[in-house]
A = this chain, B = another copy of it.
């Protein structure tokens, strides 16, 4: 695990975006705040590896993190992308089941697991909030399963874009932090298919793709919503 310890100074970038602790837990008097260390990771740096002892847990301050797993024959699966404000690294087991990596340069807070667990037992509000956090993760996991289990390539890409808009608080301009490969492994498709689906949406004037394909503008949000195959 390659890491660069930073000073515990206030993160200026984090300040540009309110990092909500959720409705059940006010960031004022946040009992976690004092317990963590700030770490900075370079693009593609490993935060922890599959099999590492899961004795800490993490919160994204800035940048994007991906959790992934590689099968014996090289197939890769990305279980989650995590954005500013998201927590990750909590495990049922004592070892991490997935590898966590910085997608671009990223800053994360690290908390000792046993400290967090002690806090959970002392602080009822924190305990409620943490449970809500885990339940949200579960909800997202079920939404992903639905995508992977019964949606077409087009529907998956559209759902992905809409989810991204919701989770990172951008409106119509999306700055994709991850590559087509990452998106492919996240959606259970190939880079080529992702590229083709983006092209189709572009030609249908539903989105506009700028730069090296990293900047996406949503031109017709309603059309996009109607293509997402919700229930």
Contact = CB atoms under 8 A, between A and B. Distances in A.
Interface string A124-146: 10010001101111110110111
A179 to B, nearest CB: 17
A231 B72 contact: yes
Residue among A134, A145, A229 facing the most chain B CB atoms (10 A cut-off) = A145
Contact of A135 (B71, B91, B185, B187): B91
A100 B137 CA distance: 20
Interface string A108-122: 000000000000010
Contact of A69 (B50, B98, B146): B146
A159 to B, nearest CB: 12
Interface string A39-76: 00000000000100000000000000000011111011
Interface string A90-104: 111100011000000
A150 B148 CA distance: 9
A214 interface: no
Interface size class of A (residues with CB under 8 A): 35 or more
Residue among A50, A76, A121, A144 facing the most chain B CB atoms (10 A cut-off) = A144
Contacts of A138: 92, 134, 137-138, 141
Contacts of A211: none
Contacts of A76: 150
Contacts of A72: 229-231
Interface of A: 50, 69-73, 75-77, 79, 90-93, 97-98, 121, 124, 127, 131-132, 134-139, 141-142, 144-146, 148-150, 185-188, 229-231
12 contacts: A71-B229, A71-B231, A76-B150, A77-B150, A79-B145, A79-B146, A92-B136, A92-B139, A131-B131, A141-B141, A148-B148, A148-B188
